[in-house]
Structure 1
Amino acid sequence: MDAGRGRTVPLFATLGMLYFAQGLPAGLLGKSMPALARDAGLSPEWIGLLALPALPWALKFIWAPWVDRWGSGRANHRKRWILACLSGVVAVLAVAAMLSQAWLFGAGFAVLIVMLFLLNLFSATQDIATDGLAARLLTPSLRGLGNSVQVSGYKVGMILGSGALLILVGQWGWQATLFTIIAMLLVVAVTAWRFDEPREPARRRRPVTAKWWLRQLALFWRRPGLGVWLVILLGYKVGDGFGTRMIKPFLVDRHWTLAEIGSLDLITSLVGLAGAGLAGLIMLRLSRRVALFGFAGLQALSFIGWWWVAAGPVTVPVQWIWAVALFEQLADGLSTVALFVLMMDYCRSGHEGSDYTVQASVQLFAVGVFTLLSGFSVAWLGYASHFLLAAILSAAVIMAAFFWQPPVVAHGAPRGEP
């Protein structure tokens, strides 16, 4: 590792905290909002469109090269970006805490959308810097465990931003809950500030221009095997995003209370956390191919379970719903780590933030499109057929296993153009 083996534990701890900070707003947008919105009376179509404020996550590849370049060659280059973005997230949450929850989900819904957009813009930019830091400092042998730390930290943040938030809002109120989240983010900021990011090797770099940006994008995708990998990125998690968006509205329509949904989400997210940790250990011995596509199969199987629950009677035993939800989150933790490890393997040296981000943007764009359509799918097909379609989408990507060859990664990522 560039920073030396003695820096592995501090690096893992810092990455875990940073991804935790990104999981908080993601949990708020992706998990709490659908339940809160449905409880407030919004239709499934509008709930699906709540994914629009997440647009910066799909478009972040546009400004990722500037994050890689501006300030590079100086100590703590990416750390400065991270601290600036954390400050932006804290500011948005502080404003949200000053506004009434009832107003935001009613007359102030447009303001809520803008605030969620800003929250995602800051978080997505922080993600560019954090991913660049991780891809640069994690050697190939450490990427399985490193991505377990990444996904685990992210999932802990999502737990607090989703299930725990639903519970806390009911007990403490909107304002107290958001100020608690702000306090947690300030702890993360202190942790990031204390981390001594190693200086990047000095390189002669060309100016960042639109022409240079397009050239780098072309150089990345022209490498052998990237065509099949693009298909995998486009299809790997679309079934997951398409299906999970409507799980909480389904439970609301099955007359679950927000507190019951929050409790389910909290426990199942802990299982997803365990799945992410388990994936890192499994990938120390399992081949990239078997892990990537085997875990995708488990994800598809989980939505077969949701189809079975939704197609059954309203009085289906609660324990069956819990079993399906637990399995779905386990599969999600396993498959997410496998995907992220491969995304790091494809990064070029000196372009870690940009290369990882462009892959993430492709993947998130595809997921976002299907997530936007999820509410219309439920309105047209019903919950059972919707979950069955999610299972089919999750399984379809396995066909790419017959055409894909994993990238060859020895002691580091391939060199990129300056």
Structure 2
Amino acid sequence: MLVALLMGFSSGLPLLLTSTLLQAWLTREGINLGLIGLFSLVGLPYTLEFVWAPVLDRFRLGALGRRRGWLLATQLALVLTIASMALLDPNRDLLVVAVLCLLIAFCSASQDTVINAYRRESLADDEQGFGASLYVNGYRAAMLVVSGGGLILVHFVGFHEVYLVMAAFMGVGIATTFIASEPALTSPLPHGFRESVVEPFLSYLRRPDAVWVLVFLLLYKVGDLVASNMTIPFYLEMGYSNLTIGMVVKAFGFWAIIGGGLLGGTLILRIGTFRALFWFGLLQACATASFALLTLTGPSIGWLAFVISAENLTLGMSTAAFVGFMALMTDRRFTATQYALLSSLMGVPRVILSAPSGYLALGLGWPLFFIVCGFLAAPGLILLNRFRHWLDVPPDPPPATRVSGETAALLE
């Protein structure tokens, strides 16, 4: 359990450094709201990680093994790039800030690809949902450290110092890489262009409803991701201070996300992946729309706590189901490449579709913006019904699906 949580923490830490924390920094510096929305484009590497994922499947790096070697390399690069943010001034170096955030996203996306492959190779098929909930708990805990702890710290020091602190937090991931066990190879490393690059995609396309699964990944969380791109500017415009946002996120959001991840992982085992995806997704849509309530209440800490708690609880549940679903869609022979393909599509709403979110909020106004984001979940939930006949049917276990020593250590 410790390794799963810590890997999730290392994976989740960089994301909000180029989104939520950056948005707060740019807002305080007086950067135009439309430009802040466009900064979501620095997350493009999250949508393109499948391009270089075959390299991570094909080659070993260093003496730590295929997975841990690449993990260490990406984590060291993240420490360097995150710390470099402390040297910049957004008003003077806005283009440099964008380029550096792009590099952080590239290193972070690469780390995510390796961690997802590690988890898929270490867990049996029927453990993927529970393993995903552990990963999500760690991931969201890191995001709350940034969005909660980071904003609280900004109140006492400054954004430059906060980025240095967050770079130091990457030491958690580096330590985890050294203490974790390398997953055993279940098949020889791929050789040649066809086996390394072409075959992973052909193998995926042979699955039932392969193309519709890709469409589903684009649609399932689009409303939540578009809305989340504007939450920090929304809070600040509603009159909440960075300190208040950080304290409420830390006090209420942390426990809500931990509870949501654990509850989601437990319910997945009881009700199956299909029903979990549907009901958790529906609850997430309602929580997204509930942000509109804050426009009626004024700057009320009680209502802010309620909305953040509901959003984090349902997000933890839906993300656990979603991540477990993606793991089930991959072939263990090409874990990094196929998972990267699926997670890249998952990132499209956050990066590309979220880019005009600032202009959408300006055009619709905050209440209608969040209500529309809630309804954006509907197409994905409707499409989900297409997978019902096969999604919860136990697959024939491949030769390597028995719980290994690494799996036992991961879940202890």
Per-residue Cα deviation, 1:259-289 (whole angstroms, up to 9, x for no partner): 1122222234311222112111111211211
Per-residue Cα deviation, 1:321-372 (whole angstroms, up to 9, x for no partner): 3212211111111100100001011111211111111111111113322211
Q: In the aligned structure 2, how far is the partner of 1:204 from the partner of 1:66? A: 11
Instruction: State which drifts further: 242-251 or 265-274.
Output: 265-274
Q: In the aligned structure 2, how far is the partner of 1:410 from the partner of 1:74? A: 35
Aligned to 2:45, the other structure's residue is in SS state helix
Give yes or no for contact 2:200–2:338 (8 Å, CA) kept in 1. Answer: no
1:195 Cα deviation after fit = 2.0
Q: Within 5 A, what are the aligned runs for 1:156-195?
A: 156-195=141-180
Give yes or no for contact 1:299–1:335 (8 Å, CA) kept in 2. Answer: yes
Q: Within 5 A, what are the aligned runs for 1:29-40?
A: 29-40=18-29
Answering whether residue 200 of structure 2 is matched by residue 216 of structure 1, we say yes
Distance 1:195 1:304, change over 3 A: closer
Q: 2:76 aligns with which of 87, 105, 108?
A: 87
Distance 1:92 1:205, change over 3 A: closer
The Cα RMSD (Å) is 2.3
Aligned to 2:293: 308
1:207 Cα deviation after fit = 0.5
Answering whether residue 341 of structure 2 is matched by residue 352 of structure 1, we say no
Answering whether residue 306 of structure 2 is matched by residue 323 of structure 1, we say yes
In structure 2, give the amino acid aligned to 1:70. F
1:251 Cα deviation after fit = 1.5
Aligned to 2:406: none
Aligned to 2:269: 284
Distance 1:75 1:410, change over 3 A: farther
1:219 Cα deviation after fit = 3.2
Q: Within 5 A, what are the aligned runs for 1:100-119?
A: 100=88, 103=89, 105-119=90-104
Q: In the aligned structure 2, how far is the partner of 1:401 from the partner of 1:95? A: 43
Give yes or no for contact 2:147–2:249 (8 Å, CA) kept in 1. Answer: yes
Give yes or no for contact 2:5–2:139 (8 Å, CA) kept in 1. Answer: yes
Q: Which runs of 5+ in 1 are unaligned?
A: 1-11
Aligned to 2:409: none
Q: In the aligned structure 2, how far is the partner of 1:355 from the partner of 1:204? A: 15
Q: 1:205 aligns with which of 170, 179, 190?
A: 190
Distance 1:30 1:195, change over 3 A: same
Give yes or no for contact 1:349–1:413 (8 Å, CA) kept in 2. Answer: no
Aligned to 1:63: 52
Q: Within 5 A, what are the aligned runs for 1:7-406?
A: 12-71=1-60, 76-97=65-86, 99-100=87-88, 103=89, 105-203=90-188, 205-208=190-193, 213-270=197-254, 271-310=256-295, 312=296, 315=298, 317-405=300-388, 406=391
Q: In the aligned structure 2, how far is the partner of 1:174 from the partner of 1:227? A: 43
Instruction: State which drifts further: 40-49 or 285-294.
Output: 40-49
Give yes or no for contact 2:248–2:304 (8 Å, CA) kept in 1. Answer: no
Q: In the aligned structure 2, how far is the partner of 1:23 from the partner of 1:212? A: 28
1:379 Cα deviation after fit = 1.4
**TM-score calculated relative to the size of structure 2:** 0.90
1:189 Cα deviation after fit = 0.8
Aligned to 2:410: none
Instruction: State which drifts further: 285-294 or 265-274.
Output: 265-274
Q: In the aligned structure 2, how far is the partner of 1:120 from the partner of 1:236? A: 22
Give yes or no for contact 2:56–2:66 (8 Å, CA) kept in 1. Answer: no
Q: Which runs of 5+ in 2 are unaligned?
A: 401-412
Q: In the aligned structure 2, how far is the partner of 1:368 from the partner of 1:176? A: 27
1:44 Cα deviation after fit = 2.1
Distance 1:178 1:33, change over 3 A: closer
1:316 Cα deviation after fit = 6.5
Q: In the aligned structure 1, how far is the partner of 2:180 from the partner of 2:186? A: 18
